Amino acid sequence: MGATRALAFAVMPLCACASARTRPISAVSNASAAPPAERTHDIHDGVFHEIRPGETLYRVARAYGVSVEDLRAENGISDPAQLATGSLLFVPRAERTVEVVAAAAAQAKIEARPPRRAQPSQIPRAGSGTLDPAAHGEPLAWPLRGVLVSAFGMRDREQHEGIDLAAPEGTPVLAAAAGKVLFVGEQRGYGKIVLVGHEGGLVTIYAHNADNLVELGQPVSRGQRIARVGRSGNATGPHLHFEVRVGTRPRDPLGFLR
């Protein structure tokens, strides 16, 4: 009798805030099934959510900001796949009901939106941080004095493995340090490209060139002209794509340039 009264007390206020008719509390029962007599909830500790078509336990949990395990424990759910449309699910610690399908669609729209590319003014200035340990105390020289338009890191959901320096087409591209030409030619996406190997396993890459001015195996000195700025490969305008790698691993060039 006491359990029945407690259950009735818990369901009655629900009619004013979540549904115009009473429903079974058990999330896995249908409209004719009786809820477990021993499972009661204090309405001040959460809300009851009516399961609608297309809603899953995961979506409900995400919409309300609670864990799936909390929902399973509170509602005695052993098989989330059997969540029945029209049943009521008690959501602990929730203050009001939410539209789960609408919330899921809005979240999916946000996640599908590509991240904004950093504006040039938002890119940290070279030299503002500590020198990368891989530089061994010997910073690299700028390959040209252009406008820094794209930083190292995630860009349009892809890893941008260098920096982009915009400059007029034909601007000389200079070797960032003394070394030896490891590759000169063309690569898909990069267009005309030059790779220079340096001491300590450091490699610098210069891409999207209009012309390459060095040959394979040629030694180069710091500041020597090795290419000219262009827009070859996947480039929307004239710029230099500059990378610094330790072996094959890309590092942020701004940690090397001074």
Same domain, 131 and 108: no
Residue 12: which CATH number? Answer: 3.10.350.10
Is the domain of 15 the same as that of 134?
A: no
In degrees rounded to 5, what are phi and psi of residue 32?
-100, -5
pLDDT digits (tens, 9 = 90+) for 192-234: 999 999 998 999 999 999 999 999 999 999 999 999 999 999 8
- Looking at the fold, whether 240 and 134 belong to one and the same domain comes out as yes
Residues 90 and 176 in one domain: no
Q: Which two tokens stand for residue 35?
A: 């809820």
Report the distance separating Cα 254 and Cα 151, nearest Å: 9
**Considering 86, 112, 138, which residue would you say is the last residue of a domain?**
112
Retrieve residue 227's tokens: 């290419």
Instruction: Assess whether 14 and 88 both reside in one domain.
Output: yes
pLDDT at 64 > cutoff 70 = yes
**Whether residue 84 has pLDDT greater than 70:** yes
**Whole-angstrom Cα distance, residue 194 to residue 213?**
9
* Residues facing residue 124 across a β-bridge: none
Instruction: Give the whole-angstrom CA distance, residue 163 versus residue 29.
Output: 58
Which value, to the nearest 10 degrees, does the dihedral of the CA atoms of residues 235, 240, 241, 242 take? 170
Mean pLDDT lowest among 123-137, 155-169, 203-217, 222-236? 123-137
- Regarding whether 138 and 246 lie in a shared domain, the answer is yes
pLDDT of residue 207: 95
Which comes out higher in pLDDT, residue 125 or 120?
A: 125
Listed residues 112, 140, 164: the one ending a domain: 112
Q: Can you give the pLDDT at residue 205?
A: 95
Residue of 85 and 166 predicted with greater confidence: 166
- Domain residue limits at 15: 2-112
Mean pLDDT of 156-162: 79
How far is the C-alpha of 72 from the C-alpha of 214, rounded, in Å?
Answer: 67
pTM, rounded to two decimals: 0.53
State whether 150 and 130 are in the same domain: yes
- Looking at the fold, whether 207 and 127 belong to one and the same domain comes out as yes
* Same-domain pairing of 145 and 233: yes
Q: What is the dihedral of CA 33, 39, 40, 42, to 10 degrees?
A: -130
Q: Using CA atoms, how far apart are residues 232 and 44, in angstroms rounded to an integer? A: 65
Q: What is the tally of structural domains in the chain?
A: 2
Out of 90, 112, 134, a domain closes at 112
Is the Cβ–Cβ distance between 251 and 134 less than 8 Å?
yes
131 versus 17: the higher-pLDDT residue is 131
Band of pLDDT at residue 88, cut at 50, 70 and 90: confident
E strand or H helix that includes residue 207: strand 202-212
